Amino acid sequence: MMELMAKWLWLPPVASEHGKGVDNLIIYIHWLMVALFIGWIIYFFYAIFRFHHKRNPKADYVGVKNHASSYIEVVVVLAEFALLAFFAIPLWAKAVDKFPEEKDSTVIQVVAQQFDWNVRYPGKDGMFGKQDMQLVKDNNLFGVVADDPNGKDDVQTQTQIHVVVNKPVIIYISSKDVIHSFKVIAMRVTQDAIPGMRIPIHFTPNKEGTYQINCAQLCGGGHSGMSRGMLIVESQAAFDKWLATKTPGAAVSFE
């Protein structure tokens, strides 16, 4: 039933663990709206028939005396409360608050710019080199401190983000210039990229593939070009192999 409803609503393919929960919430809300729609339509035609002027030549100053409409209202409020308390809030708490451990995750930093995505990986040691906001400039978007040994194996790329399937991903998102927004529809994640802030998000991709990254804030003339960003979800072996082809250090490699 849920599959069918997802198809009817044209929900895009989902490839992250919490994505299913997001879709289910959307579907439940639509079920409630369908029920309300049917109820209101029935009442609409009943009212047209029941209160036709020929049937009611004189106004009735007393009106309805039963409480049927109040009971129906209570049921609708309870349904909405249930959606909020048992689906929306727990989903939000899980997707936004409960971060996985960094040691079990692929940790990445992303700095958006007009009009591309810059990506930094901690390399084999799993540790980012020291960074200092004072050092940020055009050829050092992440403010990398050049002589820190932890940074020697860090890798920096653009446009494409590689992650490992079935392993949590934590991305620290920032921006070099204006407000962008990191959106991967298949992962059901969206987070604004704001200059001067570093905002973490997390998700667990559960299906290998290449997924489009969109910028979800109109950020200038080349805004739509940011859609060439790609999230590549692959096996650990493929990820390691890819990482090994990158030149470590502060240098950027364009791929």
Residue numbers at the binding site for Cu ion (CB under 5 A): 180, 215, 219, 226
Report, in Å, the least distance between residue 192 CB and Cu ion.
10
Residue type, 112: A
Q: Of 170 and 219, which has the nearer Cβ to Cu ion? A: 219
Q: Coil, helix or strand for 205?
A: strand
Report, in Å, the least distance between residue 68 CB and Cu ion.
52
Q: Of 220 and 248, which has the nearer Cβ to Cu ion? A: 220
- Is residue 108 within 8 A of residue 119, CB to CB? The reply is yes
Q: Of 219 and 252, which has the nearer Cβ to Cu ion? A: 219
Q: Is the dihedral of CA 241, 127, 115, 169 positive or negative?
A: positive
Nearest CA to 169 among 214, 141, 211, 226?
Answer: 211
- Is residue 158 within 8 A of residue 94, CB to CB? The reply is no
Report, in Å, the least distance between residue 181 CB and Cu ion.
7
Q: Of 15 and 219, which has the nearer Cβ to Cu ion? A: 219
Report, in Å, the least distance between residue 119 CB and Cu ion.
15
Structure-token pair, residue 191 = 């987070």
State the helix-helix crossing angle for 68-82 and 19-50, rounded to 10 degrees.
170
Report, in Å, the least distance between residue 215 CB and Cu ion.
3
Look at the block and give the residue holding tokens 């004189």: 58
229-234/160-164 β-pairing? parallel
Q: Of 161 and 215, which has the nearer Cβ to Cu ion? A: 215
